[in-house]
Amino acid sequence: MRKTTYIQVINEAMREEMRRDENVFLIGEDIGHYGGLFRVTRNILDEFGPKRVIDTPISEQAFLGMSLGAAAVGLRPVIELMYMDFTLVAADQIFNQIAKYSYMTGGLINIPLVIRGQHGGGKRYGSQHSQCVDSLYAHFPGIKVVAPATPYDAKGLLKSAIRDDNPVVFLEHKMLYFTRGDAPPAEEDYTIPLGVADVKREGGDITIATFSYCVLQALEAAEELSEKHGIEVEVVDLRSVEPMDTDTILKSVAKTGRLLAVHESYANSGLGAEIVARVYEEAPHLLTAPARRLGMAPVSIPVSRVLEEEILPWKKNIVATVLEMMR
């Protein structure tokens, strides 16, 4: 193992898949010479040239439509959205076309493309550049949704996403880009299957089911709860939210008897409600206390750091919610 950053392994995964398969290409705004807004695609143009690293005009609907056509004829586009907030600019292409194309052709045509980009709060970017869109994407059939929390998972899952024959949305939280963690040597080829969760911390008192940056926040909260209150939290990192590994959640809840579902998109009609509903529908007898969800408060994200931290489901709010549940 080596220590490396989340942003570095995303870059590596794309390079390795482009070397492995000449049908893989990158497309998006400022991803070529500039290397992307967050420099995720830096220097890839130098190796693969402008035919496989395509800079586009500022028109998400146009280049997502182009990518759909390219995928339909056998290419494998990896699309970068500068901010996932801009999803709605191309909503028709994503939800009415890309998600449905294989179904509409009776499975005769696959759409092997990846839509990747950063989302989430923490950088004081304000209401239109800080939203989490995981619950929105997970609502529509035909799209897989992946949101890894660690460098190791990010690389293995992105390689699997690029090789998948279905549309995959790959969500990269902006607060994760410069976090460091373990990963195999750069030359080692490994993948992680989509739809398989991972228990990041074992505990016997309560299960937190979460993903993306909230995994790191949940782990910090778990350490505080253990040190100050003697509460041992089990943290289940879903990694993929569609498909969702319900079995791993149920196995954890069978041990702890309590469940808190945490995600950064809005709590209202969000993935936390879906996680809780699945447990109540499939195995309510496992719960010794009511399950709860914790998402972002139902307000637009402010620029103020103090206000932003107040409404996000991060460490402070996770600790407070767990203490309420344990009482």
Helix and strand numbers (H, E) in the chain are: 12, 14
**What is this structure's pTM?**
0.95
> Quick one: CA dihedral 102, 107, 113, 118, positive or negative?
positive
Residue 298, preceding bond cis, omega within 30 degrees?
no
Query: Which whole-number Å values give the CA distances from 199 to 177, 233, 248, in the listed order?
Result: 22, 11, 8
Neighbours of 230 (CB within 10 A): 9
pLDDT (tens, 9 = 90+) of the chain, 327 residues, equals: 899 999 999 999 999 999 999 999 999 999 999 999 889 999 999 999 999 999 999 999 999 999 999 999 999 999 999 999 998 899 999 999 999 999 999 999 999 999 999 999 888 888 888 889 999 999 999 999 999 999 999 999 999 999 999 999 999 999 999 999 999 998 889 999 999 999 999 999 999 999 999 999 999 999 999 999 999 999 999 999 999 999 999 999 999 999 999 999 999 999 999 999 999 999 999 999 999 999 999 998 889 889 988 899 999 999 999 999 998
Count the Cβ atoms, other than its own, within 10 Å of residue 99. 20
Measured distance CA(176)–CA(174) in Å, rounded: 5
DSSP codes, 39-64: STTTTHHHHH-TTTEEE--S-HHHHH
Domains 2-183 and 198-326 share a fold: yes
Question: Domain spanning 2-183: which superfamily?
Answer: Thiamin diphosphate (ThDP)-binding fold, Pyr/PP domains (3.40.50.970)
CB 263, CB 83: distance < 8 Å: no
H/E stretch holding 255 reads: helix 246-256
Residue 263 designated active-site:
no
Which residue bears the tokens 């949704």?
A: 145
Structural domain spans, the chain: 2-183, 198-326
Domain 198-326, classified CATH 3.40.50.920, yes or no: yes
Report the distance separating Cα 234 and Cα 222, nearest Å. Answer: 8
Pick the catalytic residue from 129, 173, 242, 308: 129
Known catalytic residue at 129: yes
Instruction: List the one residue out of 130, 94, 133 whose CA is nearest residue 113.
Output: 94
SS3 294: strand
The one catalytic residue in 12, 17, 29, 60 is 60
- Give whole-number Cα distances, 285 to 173, 199, 257, 271, in Å: 35, 22, 9, 21
Name the packing angle between helices 213-229 and 315-326 (round to 10°): 50
Beta partners for residue 145, in sequence order? 169, 242
Give every strand in the sheet of 233-237, ordered side by side. Answer: 198-201, 233-237, 206-210, 259-266, 292-296
Q: Given the structure tokens 């460098």, which residue do they identify?
A: 151
